[in-house]
Amino acid sequence: MKLASVNAGRDGQLVVVSNDLSKMVTADGIANTLQQALDNWAETAPKLAALHAKLESGDVEGQAFDQTAVASPLPRAFQWADGSAYVNHVELVRKARNAEMPESFWTDPLMYQGGSDSFLAPRAPIVMPQSEGFGIDFEAEIAVITDDVPMGVSPEDALGHIKLIMLVNDVSLRGLIPGELAKGFGFFQSKPSSAFSPVCVTPDALGSAWEAGKVHLPLVSHLNGDMFGKPEAGVDMTFDFGRLVAHAARTRPLCAGTIIGSGTVSNKLDGGPGKPVKEGGVGYSCIAEIRMIETIQDGKPSTPFMQFGDRIQIEMFDADGKSIFGQIDQTVQQG
Amino acid sequence: MKLASVNAGRDGQLVVVSNDLSKMVTADGIANTLQQALDNWAETAPKLAALHAKLESGDVEGQAFDQTAVASPLPRAFQWADGSAYVNHVELVRKARNAEMPESFWTDPLMYQGGSDSFLAPRAPIVMPQSEGFGIDFEAEIAVITDDVPMGVSPEDALGHIKLIMLVNDVSLRGLIPGELAKGFGFFQSKPSSAFSPVCVTPDALGSAWEAGKVHLPLVSHLNGDMFGKPEAGVDMTFDFGRLVAHAARTRPLCAGTIIGSGTVSNKLDGGPGKPVKEGGVGYSCIAEIRMIETIQDGKPSTPFMQFGDRIQIEMFDADGKSIFGQIDQTVQQG
């Protein structure tokens, strides 16, 4: 099934969405918000699935679903932790800031605690006080939402706690990262509010594309209308989502509604960095990566970071070319 | 006024507490939970204050308040960000892990994004799978709760967004910190669930002890029944809470219910590190600090980190010796 949160109050109004994203029906009487549904998932999920079946069959008529009228599925969450499962990306970004990557990164997941109190809607602008020096970048990723996860869960058992899947634009301020990481406490100001896809879906809605804790489909990003990346999310993902959830839960339990991200999706090409889409490659899921390739090739980057007015669209399509999660579509604005 | 969250469901039941912590009355009809109250603070705060006045005057009888029957004021929160305002502490802890402290730390606040989805109750055990190698430590701190804070708020304006104040035990796993910080993304597994004081209070409840964004009272910690620290929270706090809130809000707005911590409270003595309480000093608010002093004096630390069965109590008293926030009282347990 597919779920979304229509704009309403701070936490939205939970709606069940049809597979083709054309219709929706409010989850009245089941749960008012997605967090409420997740707080009691064992009871609410079957009811939501039954309502979804009725919407699909036409037993419930529903209303038109409007991707511009929704918040992120969890408009605010109690936890957002982002992994870096595509170690290829980590290696490139580190190179770009002249930082070495320890070998252990291939065996021990990297993860940071993100701010989860003020997510952007999927179609909301990315409002920043300045672009100069901030190095505004998008990061196209996949994220999962868990139910309650006990401390010390195994990677295998963690897979069973993954209840919903969605896309995320993990906005990053590349200009602020080196100084902030040098302080030693991780990201803070360099990771402003993230935006998630209009719709989140249960793993079964992905069919065979969800396998072994990975989504085996390309993640498509368009920058200012041009295809920027379409890497396969199931390829080069060193740590599957079961492993990432278990990493997060090593020393504390995770509350229902915890969001765990994959990190920027990135594919290698012949063991090295990939090529831009216009050169026949699968491209990239963030600007920092192409700038690194440019630096390797030309001695300096030529693709600028996002400026005011620049637009990023992130989407994923099923085997029939239909949008699964709806589209993240954001423009950078001064404010 | 003073507020607490009696154990009930995931988010507790909001109660108004008498100044002497003896009585409480549920906030029925005003807000069910503290988060609900904060989501609409301009409307709920005057009503809660009126109820508090009635409880104080005896117009409302109330029930007995039991510190063992409450969750943390926000049992889970949308944001917990912890500063390191007592730069003296940061300098000592860095020395203890042979890491240098940049001069900029005296002018640019250090802050990490903490996990906020599963706080411990003030009297709940600190359950850990192992003590050996984990280096289980307490950190006694002060924390504030804000209402909605706009992006880019000034430190001066940020002060007006501080609505509630409480104490926190920011549990740290010192054994995991060096490896985790070396990865560059900050704390994650090394910062398990934190616990907050039984009661949070409005700034006016502190009277003249709340001044210029600092709490001017000693923060008292007992380890296994012995006084371990009583540093003055208003002294050596390089960044006041207005500055810390503004730092957190530089590149994104903060949602109502955001918790910002002070970092471990620490006082210098004659320009150098302080002395233990038993030697006539004000002691320390974490074990790491005394271990550093021991290393300086004896070449190696002698005070062990917390073992299973060890107990930490954290409290703050007003000028008349009365407990302001109630007591954090936690024992480390294997689980």
Residues 25-64 of A with CB under 8 A from B: 39
Residue A237: Cβ within 10 Å count: 27
pLDDT (0 to 100) of residue B99: 76
Amino acid (1-letter code) at residue B149: V
Whether chain B has a CB inside 8 Å of the CB on A317: the answer is: no
* Per-residue pLDDT tens over the stretch A6-59: 999 999 999 999 999 999 999 999 999 999 999 999 999 999 999 999 999 999
Work out the pLDDT band at B125, boundaries 50, 70, 90. very high
* Residue A99 confidence (pLDDT): 76
Question: Which of B76, B98, B110, B113 is the mutation pick for testing A, counting most A CBs within 10 A?
Answer: B113
Given pLDDT bands bounded at 50, 70 and 90, which one contains residue A285?
very high
Ramachandran quadrant class, A280 (left: phi over 0; alpha: psi -120 to 50; beta: rest): left
Residue A5: the pLDDT is 98
Query: What pLDDT is attached to residue A100?
Result: 81
Using a CB–CB cutoff of 8 Å, tell me whether B278 touches chain A. Answer: no
Chain A residues whose CB is inside 8 A of the B181 CB are 184-185
For residue B97, pLDDT over 70 is answered with no
Q: Which of A121, A207, A136, A146 is nearest to A175 (CA)?
A: A136
Residue B73: pLDDT band (50, 70, 90) is: very high
d(CA B306, CA B319): 31
Q: Mutation test of the interface with chain B: which of A40, A113, A258, choosing the one with the most B Cβ atoms within 10 A?
A: A113
R_g over Cα of chain B: 19
Identify the pLDDT of residue A300.
92
Q: Would you say B165 and B200 are in contact if contact means Cβ atoms under 8 Å apart?
A: yes
- What pLDDT, on the 0 to 100 scale, is given for residue A73? 98
DSSP B268-332: EETTEEPPPGGGTS-B-SSHHHHHHHHHHHHSS--S--B-TT-EEEEEEB-TTS-BSS--EEEEE
d(CA B312, CA B329): 6
Is the pLDDT at A271 greater than 80? The verdict is no
List C-alpha distances in Å: B200 to A10, B41, B211.
23, 15, 17
With a cut of 70, say whether residue B1 has pLDDT above it: yes
Please say if the pLDDT value at position B96 is more than 70: no
At residue B12, does pLDDT exceed 90?
Answer: yes
All residues at 6 or more sequence positions from A116 whose CB lies less than 8 Å from its CB, including other chains:
A76, A77, A78, A79, A80, A259, B78, B79, B116
pLDDT digits (tens, 9 = 90+) for B196-251: 999 999 999 999 999 999 999 999 999 999 999 999 999 999 999 999 999 999 99
Per DSSP (E only), the strands in B99-138 are: 111-114, 126-128, 136-137
φ and ψ at residue B218, rounded to 5 degrees: -75, 145
Contact A314/A141 with Cβ under 8 angstroms? no
pLDDT of residue A168: 98
pLDDT grade for B30, boundaries at 50, 70 and 90:
very high
pLDDT averaged over every residue in chain A: 95
Does the distance separating the beta carbons of B113 and A114 come in below 8 Å? yes
Question: Is the Cβ pair A251, B128 closer than 8 Å?
Answer: yes
pTM, full prediction: 0.97
Q: How far apart (Å, rounded) are the C-alpha atoms in residues A298 and B302?
A: 56
Option in A84, A184, A190 nearest B181 (CB)? A184
How does A317-329 read in b/e, with b if 16+ C-beta sit within 10 Å? eeeeeebbbbbbb
Whether B76 has its CB under 8 Å from any CB of chain A: the answer is: yes
Distance from the A248 Cα atom to the nearest Cα atom in chain B, whole angstroms: 7
* B10 within 8 A of B117, measured Cβ to Cβ: no
Q: What does the DSSP 8-state code read for residue B283?
A: B
**pLDDT tier at A101, thresholds 50, 70, 90:** confident
Cα(A335)–Cα(A169) distance, integer angstroms: 19
pLDDT tens profile A72-93: 999 999 999 999 999 987 887 7
Find out whether A14 and A36 touch, Cβ atoms under 8 Å: yes
| Phi, psi at B306, each rounded to 5° | -70, 135
Is B85's pLDDT higher than 90?
Answer: yes
Q: What is the separation of C-alpha B24 from the centre of its chain, rounded to a whole number of angstroms?
A: 22
Whether A108 contacts chain B with CB within 8 A = yes
In the numeric block, which tokens belong to residue B122?
Answer: 């003030």
Per-residue pLDDT at A96: 66
Can you tell me the distance from the alpha carbon of A73 to that of A119, in angstroms, rounded to the nearest whole number? Answer: 10
Q: Which two tokens stand for residue A326?
A: 């709806």
Q: Give me A69's structure tokens.
A: 């009228």
